[in-house]
Structure 1
């Protein structure tokens, strides 16, 4: 039976790989070796330490003659700057760089919250600085309280613009945000049981929620600061807020939220509404299902629903919606490591198709890809490497418009039945995925064109990370152990070995070539073969999975 009981054995290399892939974007051999021998609880605990960002804020290196620089801390109005689309891309470059400099759950959970409280940065979220504040809000609550975040997000300037709530007034209600808040952000619909009745709420509840949300406005100059987070927020225009009582349906026990007319009390009204939504057990279950799909597997049966989702939801309720107790229980459990039944190879490990961001991050960290330092070479990092190559070329070709999903529901991989994560791998995205490793090795954009100002040195990777590089069989085996969730069989080893040793040639051919490189430092021959091997292994089916 599915079990949330903590894993009783220490992590071996296979389980360490599983945890590090699922819980971090930074995936290195050194960290894997650190995890081996730890208990699951110890390993998870090590991933929740709070570490300052390597980059305090993003930097726009353009225009070259007078860069806008640290524009997010400027006193100028955010929308007064040109190049807003580029600047939103720069914000994602800042976020990704920080994720790559930490071995932590923080950025995994921050992105998880983006999938819950979606803002499409290029689809109506306003100025790039507002999007920067939104990202900081996700980061701030990554180890925090989901219910509190569900209150704060309502006053986020990017969200106010994105879902039109800044236009929601007492005499001209706009229900867009209220609808998505219930349908997508919190309790979710449930099964429709009648006209306008979705089990977990009704159309009347949406109308009443819109009244609660009325009068909240964008603070364009970012002068309103949330005292809890220090992050700019919107404000309430009490003259445009519906001060009448809001009466909800039986879905919420016919609760009445008393209308308020004073600024501080209007925030109390918002607080009462969120507390009402989060008092429903189905809200906790909705978040636990999302966490399960994000960290464990996209589909599950009734046994998992009963033995994993339901008790996780109770942990969440018992901890008043703190996210860490739930995630720690899940990532430390026998179930997470597929150790709760007699077959430890059939369900969890290797069951998720990597997102384009996971694939990029794993390759860059495991292979020690060199790319420009944003602190000393901002133009090449932010603009040429990240914005032109990764943001505009790779991510879009791979089916992940970065931080800009096509729909307010988010990326289909996290919600769209029946395929879920299979959406990452299709005839439309496969070329983008396959061209990534090729581009990094060649140092040029093979999806489009141009220098990417980054490089992956396959020879140094093998020299520094592979202990038995002289033996082509052991070299392939060690690489597969690092790159793949599961070990490969003899046939796959033989196949990959052909990139090092031509068919029909003895293994000592490669031994001689590698020894020659070690003695002369001439890497021409070994580089050609190792480049081909790394491309083949990273584009193999096994590497698409985690």
Structure 2
């Protein structure tokens, strides 16, 4: 039986890896060592501490003659700055660097919220400053309340632009935001049961929701500040809001929301609408299914639906949509660690294909990549490393437009049947995935061309992290134990050993080569062989899974 009971045993290396991969974007050997021996509950709880970002805002080092610098806190209007597309990339670079500085659920959940309340940073969110505010809003509620975020997101300037609600007026209704709010952001459709009628709502409900949202406008100068978050927000144009009562269908109990005609009362009207949507049990189940797919597995059976999804939804309801009680219960459970059954065919550990974001982040953290410091070398970090290589080349080649999915539905890996996370792999994305580690090892862009201003030091990684580096079998086993969800067998060890020891030669040839490096510091030979080994092990099928 699928079980949400807390895992009874303490975490070993295998389970610690599983937790850190699923719950964070980064982990190192030292972090793994910290988690080994902890109970699952204590380990998960240690990931929930909120801490301030190491970078408070992004920096634009261009134009070189007079950098726009910290433009998001400038008193100038957001659209007065040039290079808006570049600046939106700098916002993602700011977010990613912060994610790499902390071992916490915050950033993994922040990205989960992006997949749930999707905007495309280059397809309608507006100026880079509004995108920065949007990401800050997701970060603010990453460890907080889904229902409250579902209210706040409606007044988010980026969302108002992205789904056209800033154009939604009482005499000229625009239903785009209302439709996606119900279909994608909250309760979801359910099965279609009639013309313009779904299990969870009808077309009439979309029309009424659009009336609730009418008159909500983007504030271009960001002068309206949300008192709860201290983040800029939109405003209500009372004259463009529909003041009439809104009558919803039987899907919502034929509820009538009384129309209002003052700004404070219109906020109350919004609250009434969101409370109505979140009072439906299907809304809680929709979020829990998304969380399950994000953290556990893309597909599940009726047993999991009954024993995992349904009780998680009740936990969400009982906690008034606070996200942490659900996530901590799930990530501490026997089910998450695949300890609630003896079926070897439904393994959860190693069952998800890593996104390009997860793959890149894990390589950088595990191998302790010394990329340019955004606080002391802003141009090389924001422009050379992240914009020109990671964002423009690697992510696109690997099939992921970071924070810019093809549609408001988001990334196909999180919603599109039957492939789900298998959508990350195709003939078009393989080269980008496999060339990443080669580029980092060589210190240059091998997908196209150019300097990337960082280089992964495989020799230093092995010297500092592998206890038995002189024994090729133990060296490979230790690296595999850090990189892969499961242990590898003798055949795989022998395959990887071919990158260290030429065919037909005994193991002591590597031992002598390594000891010679330790004694005289000449890493010429070990560097060549370890670079080849790391490329092979990162590009192996085992590393593509988590």
Cα pair 1:4 1:334 within 8 Å, conserved: yes
Q: Which residue of 1 aligns with 2:237?
A: 237
SS at match of 1:254: coil
Q: Which residue of 2 aligns with 1:483?
A: 483
- 1:253-292 residue pairs with structure 2 within 5 A? 253-292=253-292
Distance 2:19 2:325 in 1: 17
SS at match of 2:193: coil
SS at match of 1:193: strand
Distance 1:30 1:346 in 2: 30
- 1:466-545 residue pairs with structure 2 within 5 A? 466-545=466-545
- The alpha-carbon deviation at position 65 of structure 1 amounts to 0.7
Distance 2:217 2:165 in 1: 7
- 1:310-459 residue pairs with structure 2 within 5 A? 310-343=310-343, 346-459=346-459
Distance 1:447 1:133 in 2: 33
1:104-124 superposed Cα distances (whole Å, 9 cap, x missing partner) = 000000000000000100001
CA RMSD of aligned residues (A): 0.6
1:333-366 superposed Cα distances (whole Å, 9 cap, x missing partner) = 0000000012467420000000001001100000
Q: Which residue of 2 aligns with 1:90?
A: 90
Distance 1:513 1:37 in 2: 35
Distance 1:526 1:345 in 2: 40
* Runs of 5+ consecutive residues of structure 1 not aligned to the other structure: none
SS at match of 2:433: helix
Distance 1:544 1:314 in 2: 34
Q: Which residue of 2 aligns with 1:170?
A: 170
Distance 2:536 2:524 in 1: 19
- 1:287-298 residue pairs with structure 2 within 5 A? 287-298=287-298
- 1:195-274 residue pairs with structure 2 within 5 A? 195-274=195-274
Cα pair 1:150 1:274 within 8 Å, conserved: yes
- The alpha-carbon deviation at position 3 of structure 1 amounts to 0.2
SS at match of 2:543: helix
TM-score of the superposed pair, with normalisation by structure 1:
1.00
Distance 2:345 2:40 in 1: 18
Q: Which residue of 1 aligns with 2:56?
A: 56
Distance 1:201 1:384 in 2: 48
- The alpha-carbon deviation at position 236 of structure 1 amounts to 0.3
SS at match of 1:187: coil
Cα pair 1:2 1:303 within 8 Å, conserved: yes
Distance 2:269 2:344 in 1: 50
Cα pair 1:338 1:345 within 8 Å, conserved: no
Distance 2:319 2:200 in 1: 22
Q: Which residue of 1 aligns with 2:190?
A: 190
- The alpha-carbon deviation at position 27 of structure 1 amounts to 1.4
Q: How many residues align?
A: 546
Runs of 4+ in 1 over 3 A off after TM superposition: 343-346
TM-score of the superposed pair, with normalisation by structure 2:
1.00
Q: Which residue of 2 aligns with 1:143?
A: 143
User: Judging changes above 3 Å, is the alpha-carbon distance between structure 1 residues 533 and 486 closer, same or farther for their aligned structure 2 residues?
Assistant: same
- The alpha-carbon deviation at position 52 of structure 1 amounts to 1.1
Distance 2:460 2:51 in 1: 29
SS at match of 1:272: helix
- The alpha-carbon deviation at position 449 of structure 1 amounts to 1.4
Cα pair 1:27 1:361 within 8 Å, conserved: no
